[in-house]
Amino acid sequence: MRWTRLLAVARKEVIQIRRDRRSLGIVLIMPVILMLLFGYGVSLDLKHLPVYVYDQEGSQQSQDLLNHFQASEYFHVIKAVDNYPELVRAIDSGKAAMAVVIPYDFSLQLTRGGAVNVQAIIDATDDNTANVLIGYTQAIISGYSEDVQLDWLQRHGGQQLQAPFSVDSRTWYNENLESRAFIVPGVLALVMSVIGAFLTSLTIAREWERGSMEQLISTPVTPLEILLGKLIPYFVIGLLDVGVCAAIAVWWFQVPFRGSVLTLLVSSALFMVVVLCMGYFISVVAKNQLAASQLALVATFLPAFLLSGFLFSIEQMPAAVRVITYIVPARYYVAALKKLFLKGTPTAMLYAELVPLVIFSFVLALLATRAFHKRLA
């Protein structure tokens, strides 16, 4: 391998990137756009959900219950109605995610000390939101019930009952339970997939389409020098984009970074080698830019989005799908990112993520090297 030939191929690829505005736009703008879109546009936190109420009694006790809903940051009581059909129309039209109906004998049931029924109508077109609403509602009703029981005991001279045990919960790593801290680190895997596989999938295919492959083959440059020369510019660009995205995550979105910067660079470099070699292999096989770009998106971006644990928990997937995730390199990179950002996991404890990336890098680099042959047929 001659360094002069390798650098000449790399220089040619850099010139091609500068001339290709589409590639340059993807390299410079796409990482920032993805970070902002996922940072602001994707949130699993459900707060200030619109609620309609129908208080059939209008007593002090019923209003006290509704105040518990209004005081919660998860609910926003936007309107009180005086009839049931208007409540139904609010749910049907999407103006309300939930409706609370307090019966006309609410105070009487409290006085008798029996079970008190309060109706909650929930829009379950989004099952995840519906389940969260049910949990929030049950928590508020439970808190109100404890207040009522305590008040009844005080008024009747009884002693306060102590629970046999209590749970003192503490949240680690993501203390404020913000979904942004969970989502934003994983965006780096999506950025790497786009920069790496998508752009490198065009390298060899572009040479075939433009008729310059004959000239490249006629030179003494070796297949390994072509591989390294074409991938090195994208490798450097990918690491620079990782630095930009990490800076946006930490300083703009206030996502904590507790791990080692060196470990972040090493894991990112390994994943970059994986996606670069995958894109190069696709480019060699496809020999067409459109087909290569589509294959690259299917092979890298979609698995990184759906099967890496970026948004959807792998543990909750069906068993067959969980098995498939083990051959998705982004799974290990996303896991490493979340541990580095949120937990600050030492490098010695990341072997379960780094070792598979090393294996993927070696295998895909071998495939990419063997795929290209210096012949026209």
Domain 49-155 has CATH 3.40.1710.10: yes
Of all residues in the chain, what percent carry a pLDDT higher than 70? 89
Backbone angles phi, psi at 348, to 5 degrees: -65, -20
Alpha carbon distance 204, 106 (integer Å)? 74
Say whether pLDDT at 249 is over 60.
Answer: yes
State the average pLDDT for the chain: 83
Tokens of 338: 């979340």
Of residues 20 and 359, more confidently modeled: 359
Of residues 95 and 291, more confidently modeled: 95
Say whether pLDDT at 207 is over 90.
Answer: no
Nearest-10 Cα torsion for 327, 329, 330, 336: 110
Q: In what order do the strands lie in the sheet with 49-55?
A: 75-80, 49-55, 98-102, 119-122
Q: pLDDT per residue over 13-31, tens digit each?
A: 888 777 777 777 777 788 8
Number of residues that make up the chain:
377
Tokens of 240: 């620079």
Average pLDDT value for residue range 103-121? 80
Of residues 94 and 153, more confidently modeled: 94
Say whether pLDDT at 370 is over 70.
Answer: yes
Say whether pLDDT at 113 is over 70.
Answer: no
Say whether pLDDT at 356 is over 90.
Answer: yes
Q: What is the pLDDT of residue 264?
A: 93
Of all residues in the chain, what percent carry a pLDDT higher than 90? 21
Q: How confident is the model at residue 246 (pLDDT cuts 50, 70, 90)?
A: very high
Q: Which helix (H) or strand (E) holds 294?
A: helix 289-296
Contact 333, 308 (CB under 8 A): yes
Q: What is the pLDDT of residue 316?
A: 84
Say whether pLDDT at 377 is over 70.
Answer: no
Domain boundaries, the chain: 8-42+178-371, 49-155
Position 125: which residue type? T
Alpha carbon distance 267, 93 (integer Å)? 48
Q: What is the pLDDT of residue 1?
A: 67
Alpha carbon distance 130, 124 (integer Å)? 5
Contact 370, 213 (CB under 8 A): no
Average pLDDT value for residue range 90-112? 86
Q: What is the pLDDT of residue 34?
A: 84
Average pLDDT value for residue range 225-242? 86
Beta bridge partners of 100: 53, 120
Q: pLDDT per residue over 285-330, tens digit each?
A: 877 777 887 888 888 888 888 899 888 889 888 999 999 999 999 9
Q: What is the pLDDT of residue 162?
A: 54
Q: Of 3, 18, 89, 23, which Cα lies nearest the Cα of 52?
A: 89
Q: How confident is the model at residue 197 (pLDDT cuts 50, 70, 90)?
A: confident
pTM tops 0.85, yes or no: no
Say whether pLDDT at 266 is over 90.
Answer: yes
Alpha carbon distance 12, 213 (integer Å)? 13
Q: Of 298, 354, 360, 304, which Cα lies nearest the Cα of 191?
A: 304
Q: Which helix (H) or strand (E) holds 28?
A: helix 21-28
Q: Report strand pairing: 98-102 vs 119-122.
A: antiparallel
Average pLDDT value for residue range 353-364? 93
Say whether pLDDT at 154 is over 70.
Answer: no
Average pLDDT value for residue range 137-141? 86
Residue where the block lists tokens 């979105």: 253
